[in-house]
């Protein structure tokens, strides 16, 4: 696939007020990635935070996703420069960064994802540029990979207006479990205070024309539609392992 075109298409759609729907991978197997890549999602995030996936497995997982025309993203374990470099050099089209709590933190991650002159990421041959064969083409992509900030703590909401002003931010993705836990309301998604926090994030993002989204963990199309109707525009739909479990258990009922 042409990653830079896929990145550009997603970015343009979000800037125009449209939506993008992707999914999530935690199972470190290329056959699973190939299935997910053929499923019709805009992107699939390979989970390096909670999944049992190592850096050396990324090239094969990303190749399998790309076979189906699906943009591979990396959900980083942390926003350290090493994490950014390894994921992007392996061929990720962008990163989803957990636990962003300030504009300064996001700027540091952004710069670690970009080659100079836009950033400070180390330049070199890698799988992302086919070990130098597509170096000049990749040079443009490496100036601005897709950048998604996860909002997972009430402290992030306190600085959200500044976070939303960071140049290069493409979307927000709310982590509802961690966000609710930070409020002392773990998984109490119906609590009025949590609902108000979610609404505030979505409204502030809309004011800055930054797409906000949430992870619809259970494979429920009605919830996906509900989230779209509420105004969320960057959505992760379920997880490979959750989909498998859901179907496997459903066969017995």
Tell me the whole-structure pTM to 2 decimals: 0.96
The CATH superfamily assigned to 3-250 is Phosphoenolpyruvate-binding domains (3.20.20.60)
Kindly give, in sequence order, each residue whose CB lies less than 8 Å from that of residue 196, ignoring residues fewer than 6 positions away: none
Closest CA to 154 of 193, 125, 205: 193
pLDDT of residue 135: 97
For the chain, the domains span 3-250
Regions in the chain scoring below 50 on pLDDT: none
Instruction: Give residue 253's pLDDT.
Output: 66
Residue-level pLDDT at 137 = 94
Q: Before 117, cis peptide (omega within 30)? A: yes
> pLDDT value at position 51?
82
Active site residues: 50
Report d(CA 18, CA 101) in Å as an integer: 26
Q: Are 39 and 239 in contact, with CB atoms under 8 Å apart?
A: no
């Amino acid at each position: 696939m042409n990653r830079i075109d896929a990145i550009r298409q997603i970015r343009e759609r979000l800037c125009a007020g449209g939506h993008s729907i992707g999914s999530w991978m935690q199972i470190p197997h290329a056959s699973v990635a190939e299935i997910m890549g053929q499923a019709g999602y805009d992107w699939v995030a390979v989970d390096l935070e909670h999944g049992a996936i190592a850096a050396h497995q990324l090239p094969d997982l990303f190749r399998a996703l790309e076979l189906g025309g699906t943009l591979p993203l990396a959900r980083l374990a942390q926003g350290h420069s090493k994490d950014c470099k390894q994921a992007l050099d392996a061929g990720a089209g962008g990163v989803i960064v957990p636990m962003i709590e300030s504009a300064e933190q996001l700027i540091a991650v952004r710069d670690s994802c970009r080659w100079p002159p836009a950033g400070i990421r180390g330049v070199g041959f890698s799988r992302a540029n086919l070990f130098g064969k597509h170096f000049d083409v990749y040079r443009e992509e490496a100036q601005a990979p897709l950048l998604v900030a996860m909002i997972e703590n009430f402290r992030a909401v306190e600085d959200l207006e500044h976070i939303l002003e960071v140049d290069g931010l493409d979307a927000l993705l709310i982590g509802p479990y961690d966000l609710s836990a930070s409020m002392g309301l773990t998984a109490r998604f119906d609590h009025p205070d949590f609902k108000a926090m979610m609404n505030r994030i979505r409204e502030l993002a809309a004011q800055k024309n930054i797409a906000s989204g949430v992870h619809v963990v259970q494979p429920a199309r009605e919830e996906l539609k509900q989230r779209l109707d509420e105004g969320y525009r960057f959505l992760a739909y379920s997880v490979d392992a959750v989909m498998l479990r859901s179907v496997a258990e459903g066969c017995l009922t």
